[in-house]
Homo-oligomer: A and B are copies of this chain.
Amino acid sequence: MREVAVAGTGMIRFGKYPDSGYSELAAPAVLEAIRDAGVDATSLDVCYCGHSYGGMLVGQRILRDLGLTGPPIVNVENACSSGSSALREAWVAVAAGVHDVALVIGVDKLTQFRKGPIPLDRDDWEVARGIVMPGVYAMRARRYMHEHGTTAADLAEVSVKARRHGALNDDAQLREPLSVAEVLASRPVAEPLTLFQCCPTGDGAAAVVLCAADRAGVRSPVRILASVLESGRYEPGFRDMTTAEITVRSARAAYEAAGIGPADLDVAEIHDAFTIAELMYYEALGLCERGGAAELLRSGATSLGGSTVVNPSGGLLAKGHPIGATGVAQVVEVVRQLQGRANGRQVEGARVGLTHATGGGISGLDHGACSIHVFGR
């Protein structure tokens, strides 16, 4: 296995593009990533496309419409982890030496469902019974507040930080700062979660180019120190709903593979689809002890200027969450941070970063997939 690096990154501003198709969303991100990598487009020898809602052969249509044909293309679906799962497949292929230069695309378009609900999968009996994501995370929030004395205002602080960071990011969907009072006053979605504690729906695309870390001619490669994918256990019986078991397991494997611990992280992009999620993931990633997440947030340690800046991009809450695009966009942000290119929101001296994408509810609390990547300069 050889070491793999991210050579180039690209993304579009997440938002609502009801008149654009998947190809139109992805094209600018793909071209930016290739240009940034400084590779000739003809040297791409494999493409992985992560998406959930694009139908058949999305990656093929994107490359065809760009005239970038030639490499084999594989479409990967893993719900909220579709993009990061695509990245992981590309990492395996390049690390193994089966391919040399991989294009990874993450893309999705949620505005296609504006005229009605997202069609239900026949087998998705949880969602058919109302066990939708805001409901699941609202239950987790309630239990977490009960156990740790966390307040509604503590939860709201996650959104305040996300919006503060997102205001500095030209690619963020929501860029207006918010106060705690504004977050709490927004309309209820699932008690105790209000609208501004839930990530927005929208459209977006992101892309990265991977290559062997020692490839000649790459200007500013960022090494992939670990690439981990886990799925849920889906075990029956009692589970502690305030523990993100799959993230705990993935983080342990990622830290071991990278030879680091959580204290080594300068920056992390984590899956804050809801405010409570970010607090739970602080603990699951080992950034604090159990029950200590709200205090960690209040300390400023995870804000710009802190010791481990979490979601400098604004995260899902502010940057947005176009399902398949999210995992790749997280990588775009962390790589640019490690390259010192995060204009206006640079984590000074960042050398080690992590991305964490998890989701796809199965059996209520478990996730379809969780993917963690660790990056280093």
Option from B63, B89, B121 in Cβ contact (under 8 Å) with A89: B89
B residues less than 8 Å from A64 (CB atoms): 232, 234, 362-363, 366
Alpha-carbon distance A64/B55, docked complex (angstroms): 24
Contact B123 A23 (CB under 8 A): yes
Interface residues of A in 356-375 (CB under 8 A from B): 360, 362-363, 366, 368-369
B residues less than 8 Å from A89 (CB atoms): 74, 89
Contact A1 B122 (CB under 8 A): no
Q: How many chain copies?
A: 2
Contact B76 A76 (CB under 8 A): yes
Contact A368 B1 (CB under 8 A): no
The interface size of chain A toward B, counting residues with CB under 8 Å, comes to 54
Stretch at the interface among A34-42, A93-101, A187-195, A198-206: A93-101
Is A355 in the interface zone, CB < 8 Å from B?
Answer: no
Q: Which residue of B lies closest to A55 (CB)?
A: B121
B residues less than 8 Å from A98 (CB atoms): 1, 92, 95-96
Interface string of A125-141 (1 = CB under 8 A from B): 00000000000000000
Is A261 in the interface zone, CB < 8 Å from B?
Answer: no
Interface residues of A in 71-130 (CB under 8 A from B): 71-79, 85, 88-89, 92-93, 95-98, 112, 119, 121-124
Alpha-carbon distance A230/B46, docked complex (angstroms): 9
Is A56 in the interface zone, CB < 8 Å from B?
Answer: yes
Please judge, given known A-B contacts A60-B362, A96-B92, A368-B56, whether A74 and B69 are in contact too, CB under 8 Å.
no
Contact A75 B74 (CB under 8 A): no
Is A22 in the interface zone, CB < 8 Å from B?
Answer: yes
A2, chain B: closest CB distance, angstroms: 10
Please judge, given known A-B contacts A69-B231, A77-B77, A78-B57, whether A96 and B1 are in contact too, CB under 8 Å.
yes
Residues in A lying within 8 Å of B, measured CB to CB: 1, 21-23, 47, 52, 54-57, 60-61, 63-64, 67, 69-79, 85, 88-89, 92-93, 95-98, 112, 119, 121-124, 229-235, 360, 362-363, 366, 368-369
21 inter-chain pairs at a CB distance below 8 angstroms, sorted by A residue, are A1-B97, A1-B98, A21-B122, A52-B56, A55-B124, A56-B368, A57-B78, A57-B362, A57-B368, A60-B360, A60-B369, A63-B234, A64-B234, A64-B363, A69-B234, A70-B233, A72-B369, A74-B85, A75-B77, A95-B96, A96-B96
